[in-house]
Amino acid sequence: MSWNDLVAHLSEIEILDGVGATLGWDEQTYMPKKAAGLRGSQMALLSRLSHERRTDARIGRWLEALDDKDPVQRACARNLGRVYRREQRVPAALVDKLARARSEGFAAWIDAKAASDWQRFLPSLRTLRDLTLERVRAIDPKRHPYEVLLEEYDPGTTVESLRAMFARLRDGLVPLIDAIAKQKQLAAIDAVVPLEAQWKLSSAVAAALGFDFEGGRLDRAEHPFSTGQGEGDVRITAHLKPSDLLGGLGGTIHETGHALYEQGLPFSLAGTTVKEAASYGLHESQSRFWENYVGRSRPFAIFLARTAKDVLGSECPAALADPDAIFRAQNRVERSLIRTQADEVTYNLHVIVRFEIELAIFEGSLALEDVPAAWNEKYQSYLGVTPPDTARGALQDVHWSSGAFGYFPSYTLGNLYAASFGKTMETAIPSLWSDAEKGDFSRPLAWLREHVHARGHLLETPELVRDAVGERDHVEDLLGYLWTRVGSLYGVSR
């Protein structure tokens, strides 16, 4: 029975990876400083054990014996086949060279960013680009190189569909941002709230959204992240700052969205590859749906003001007790230089700049030495700002230093899918917003459980999304929602 053997084998890999996730979580939360060396050896052994199992020669035979008529086995053939072929076709020597180039690249990037000097990063980046191209050609010399890269994060998405969607999104966002920039700026909330009180509020909001505290944890860490170790264990972290309650809370809601996906996966299908999330873009759609579509809405602001008063008591600043003040502060739009600090409206332009540059690099139409100039030109033309130095320009993100080309689009894909999920739910759940005002989010969560979470990786993302929302125009859904919600706050219309 090769199917049962394969499932047992893959289940072991999942268990090893889950152990690694727990150790990784511990490293960023509670691990004593002196344990760093020990943890390094533990992680190295785990990843070797996992790698040995992933490259087991029997997998090829098991793959051939899968039953095409069974939907789970068919999905497994596709998911596992893709990963296995990639492992098989890339020579071990190239894997080693890439691993070395990544760690050297990271060190060079740290140094170059501190000095704001692209030239210092250029040799490492060139090596990473060349090795990546070599790897792409080994995997599939006939496909568009960028699509082979994209497949690692968002299998099923094509370069052509991205090119078309992102160009329309860019052309729709630029006039919205221009119109907003001419209006009076909305007020922020910068009241100082003690961290203990913020902590209570973050936990209360995560619980209200449906995070299962008996099947997960919420802890503090330097960086907010979420990690799923398996059934009954999904952990998220929050990073809170005294004068930025909404920012810290937004981060917690974002990670809660990721965690709700992980808590809703079809665990009965462990060891089949179908228990996994379908793509980075779909994962990001779950965090963005809760963080933005729900978390920046007016009904949510009403719920939040009430919860803040309840939880913070006398420590609750006046602005946080006022739904309108929260709603305005949550939807401020500002032309800015740094992607990770960007608001919801300008954010996608930051991503589109990176996508266009990566695409040009891998299509051979942009030389690496010309990246900072291309970057600045695009920032000026889409966002109306020019970075004063490369540290705040082309050197700001860590991604390229580890050769993670093709990763950025998943952020914007997530926003596009989230908008279509939201639009669909507004029709499917007539009480969506009146429930939200009351702090009841069970219906949208149930909708996502049914249409996204429980389906795991049975279908590729574009197909799964089509099943969930029908033939929708994601770009129009996102633009329409931003013009309506944010545009009306600023008094501009399409």
Q: Which is nearer to Zn ion, 287 or 420 (CB)?
A: 287
Residues between 35 and 74 that touch Zn ion (CB under 5 A) = none
Residue from 14, 147, 255, 358 carrying the catalytic annotation: 255
Q: How far is the CB of 133 from Zn ion (least distance, A)?
A: 28
Scan for tokens 């960023």, then name that residue.
Answer: 28
Q: How far is the CB of 465 from Zn ion (least distance, A)?
A: 17
Q: How far is the CB of 254 from Zn ion (least distance, A)?
A: 6
Count of residues of this chain found to bind Zn ion when the rule CB under 5 A is applied: 1
Long-range CB pairs of 130-139 (<8 Å, 24+ gap) are 131/94, 131/97, 131/98, 131/101, 131/403, 132/98, 132/403, 132/405, 133/362, 134/94, 135/90, 135/94, 135/98, 136/362, 138/89, 138/90, 138/91, 138/94, 139/85, 139/86, 139/89, 139/90
Q: Which of 157, 286, 287, 396 binds Zn ion (CB under 5 A)?
A: 287
> If you count them, how many residues does the chain have?
494
Q: How far is the CB of 293 from Zn ion (least distance, A)?
A: 14
Would you say 175 and 302 are in contact if contact means Cβ atoms under 8 Å apart? no
Query: Which amino acid makes up residue 50?
Result: S
Q: Which is nearer to Zn ion, 145 or 224 (CB)?
A: 224
With residue 228 as reference, give the H or E element that holds it.
strand 226-230
Is 227 an interacting residue with respect to Zn ion (CB under 5 A)?
Answer: no
Q: Which is nearer to Zn ion, 79 or 227 (CB)?
A: 227
What six digits make up the tokens of 340? Answer: 């990770």
476/172 Cα distance (integer angstroms): 9
Q: Which is nearer to Zn ion, 300 or 347 (CB)?
A: 347
Query: Which amino acid makes up residue 343?
Result: D
What six digits make up the tokens of 184? Answer: 């009076």
Scan for tokens 């033939």, then name that residue.
Answer: 471
Q: How far is the CB of 32 from Zn ion (least distance, A)?
A: 28
Would you say 451 and 141 are in contact if contact means Cβ atoms under 8 Å apart? no
Is 412 an interacting residue with respect to Zn ion (CB under 5 A)?
Answer: no
DSSP string, 137-178: HHH-TTS-HHHHHHHHHSTT--HHHHHHHHHHHHHHHHHHHH
3-state secondary structure of 234: strand
6/60 Cα distance (integer angstroms): 10
Does 471 qualify as catalytic in the annotation? Answer: no
- Stretch touching Zn ion by CB under 5 A, among 29-37, 52-60, 209-217, 279-287: 279-287
Q: Which is nearer to Zn ion, 236 or 345 (CB)?
A: 236
Q: How far is the CB of 202 from Zn ion (least distance, A)?
A: 16
Q: Which is nearer to Zn ion, 229 or 287 (CB)?
A: 287
361/494 Cα distance (integer angstroms): 35
What six digits make up the tokens of 372? Answer: 């900072």
Is 420 an interacting residue with respect to Zn ion (CB under 5 A)?
Answer: no
Q: How far is the CB of 210 from Zn ion (least distance, A)?
A: 17
Q: Which is nearer to Zn ion, 132 or 286 (CB)?
A: 286
72/83 Cα distance (integer angstroms): 17
Is 292 an interacting residue with respect to Zn ion (CB under 5 A)?
Answer: no
What six digits make up the tokens of 103? Answer: 């760690």
Residue nearest to Zn ion (CB): 287
Catalytic positions: 255
Residues lying near Zn ion in the complex (CB under 5 A) are found at 287
